[in-house]
Amino acid sequence: MQRFQESMLELIVETSTNLPPDVRRAIAGAISKEDGARSKLALSTIAGNIGMAETSQQPICQDTGMPTFFVRCPVGANQIQMKAAIQSAVKAATKTGKLRPNSVDSLTGRNSGDNLGPGTPVIHFEQWEQDEVDVRLILKGGGCENKNIQYSLPCELEGVGKAGRDLDGIRKCILHAVFQAQGHGCSAGFIGVGIGGDRTTGYELAKEQLLRLADDVNPIPELAELEQYILEHADQLGIGTMGFGGAATLLGCKVGANNRIPASFFVSVAYNCWAYRRLGVIVDPKTGSINQWLYREPEDVLKPGLETKGAPMMGGREVSLTAPITEEQIRSLHVGDVVVLNGPIHTGRDAIHKYLMDHDCPVDLTGGVLYHCGPVMLQAADGQWNVKAAGPTTSSREEPYQADIIKKLGLRAVIGKGGMGPKTLKALHEYGAVYLNAIGGAAQYYAQCVERVDGVDLMQFGIPEAMWHLHVHEFKAIVTMDSHGNSLHADVEQLSLERLSNFAEPVFK
């Protein structure tokens, strides 16, 4: 079992740091067809980040997500010991910063610190007639997991109208699923779809579709046709990379079907971001050694964006800012400008926003910059903290708090991804602040912008949720909501809704 545990650790590290060739190929395809300036520069950052993560063997994205293992083993294999070995490997990967400590008590919010706890990691066991052990792992972050959606047919859907209990109704659900994700799940994404089952097994089937190769062909002709249709048409929604608007919105669509009971007809959709981290290994059951890597290709030839320096984020007007930022500086910014930050920024996500509603901020943030980010941090022997991954987290979760926090702290800029809602937009206008969209998942790109860690407060919330005081150099993000009432996110959502309505007419009879 010791060797099996080491093999599992190897699988975790490779999955977290090195995207498989089929995913790289899909991203390269998006780069070649993208025409929108903002989406193109987001994709170039993503490509650079993929290369940096591989070269430095650090996490592609800071969000470990819910590590989910699918294990097929021969009859007689000891699943109890295998489960313990997988858990030990997860713990070891967390200790070295390959996984962020991501498992929290659902009631108290306490972070277990090692990614272990009731229900984490998820391990699905299945017996099979082969002699070897097949282990596959998906690391799927919260931003895209939160955009999973389940439909119960028949239903009425925004944009496409009535979706019935047939292939055409399923088609409408899938297009709607892509629409509702917008940029929140770090598009351009991949989707797995489960038709049928019950509410639980439908989602399981959807997630299992993500184990398929991005460029395989469904053996069931109707489903192959549906997958092809979705892949060819979803881009017409115009959501683009990170929801910036553009030509590449969806990179893969895989559909499976299970039987259902007559009363239920579920269509379950698992949305996966571009950071589609899934790998697998075939393990020798006698030695525990890896015999073969799955999803790898003989030469692993296609590796776009292997440059180790950050990709240039050019396209809009570039404006350099250092906190404390003045209201005048903020009012001069407009949607589309690229802001280059130097100096102090401070992280804060869910726990911090809730805390700040009733407590004073531990530091003065007047004119300051708040970064929606839960970084991967490691402490050196001398006590100094080092940033291992530091991309933005989904901002919409903070919508209930953000306007009050901007006012209370006197913030001038909020950095995150996916955009925020009307309440925040109004506050940006009223108090003179901007929302800056960083590139979701570009955790290595942003980690290398951090020159030093100046300190940390509120560690009682755990490493990802604490308030980290970072000193950054040339940290680039795009103004997507300005202080004049403009929101790129609202514009793209409106446009994509209009385009979604073009798909209301039946296609599959």
Judged by CB under 6 A, the residue of 67, 143, 374, 416 near ligand SF4 is 143
Question: Read out DSSP for 235-290?
Answer: GGG---GGGS--S--EEEEEEEE----TT--EEEEEEE-S--EEEEEEE-TTT--E
Question: Read out DSSP for 414-442?
Answer: EEEBS---HHHHHHHHHHT-EEEE--TT-
Nearest approach, Cβ of residue 392 and ligand SF4 (Å): 7
**Beta partners for residue 347, in sequence order:** 371
The reply on whether position 61 binds ligand SF4 by CB under 6 A is: yes
Stretch of residues binding ligand SF4 (CB under 6 A), selected from 19-27, 139-147, 204-212, 226-234: 139-147
Judged by CB under 6 A, the residue of 48, 185, 197, 245 near ligand SF4 is 185
Which CB atom, from 60 or from 267, has the smaller least distance to ligand SF4? 60
Give the Cα separation of 336 and 50 in Å (integer): 24
Stretch of residues binding ligand SF4 (CB under 6 A), selected from 135-143, 167-175, 252-260, 333-341: 135-143
Nearest approach, Cβ of residue 136 and ligand SF4 (Å): 18
Site for ligand SF4 in 408-447 (CB under 6 A): 440-441
The reply on whether position 144 binds ligand SF4 by CB under 6 A is: yes
Question: Read out DSSP for 157-205?
Answer: ETTTEEE-SSHHHHHHHHHHHHHHHTTTT-SSEEEEEEESS-HHHHHHH
Question: Read out DSSP for 53-84?
Answer: HHHHT--SSS-----EEEEEEETT--HHHHHH
Give the Cα separation of 368 and 196 in Å (integer): 50
Stretch of residues binding ligand SF4 (CB under 6 A), selected from 140-148, 296-304, 334-342, 346-354: 140-148
The reply on whether position 275 binds ligand SF4 by CB under 6 A is: yes
Which residue is it, tokens 């496409």? 160
Nearest approach, Cβ of residue 200 and ligand SF4 (Å): 23
Judged by CB under 6 A, the residue of 63, 208, 350, 398 near ligand SF4 is 63
The reply on whether position 186 binds ligand SF4 by CB under 6 A is: yes
Indicate the residue whose CB is closest to ligand SF4: 141
- Which residue, 44, 20, 55, 8, is CA-closest to 276? 20
Site for ligand SF4 (CB under 6 A): how many residues? 14
Helix, coil or strand: residue 316? coil
Judged by CB under 6 A, the residue of 104, 210, 269, 273 near ligand SF4 is 273
Both tokens assigned to 14: 């490779």
Site for ligand SF4 in 384-413 (CB under 6 A): 391
Stretch of residues binding ligand SF4 (CB under 6 A), selected from 60-68, 120-128, 193-201, 205-213: 60-68
Q: How many CB atoms lie within 10 A of CB 178?
A: 28
Polymer length of the chain: 509
Residues that bind ligand SF4 (CB under 6 A): 61, 63, 65, 141-144, 185-186, 273, 275, 391, 440-441
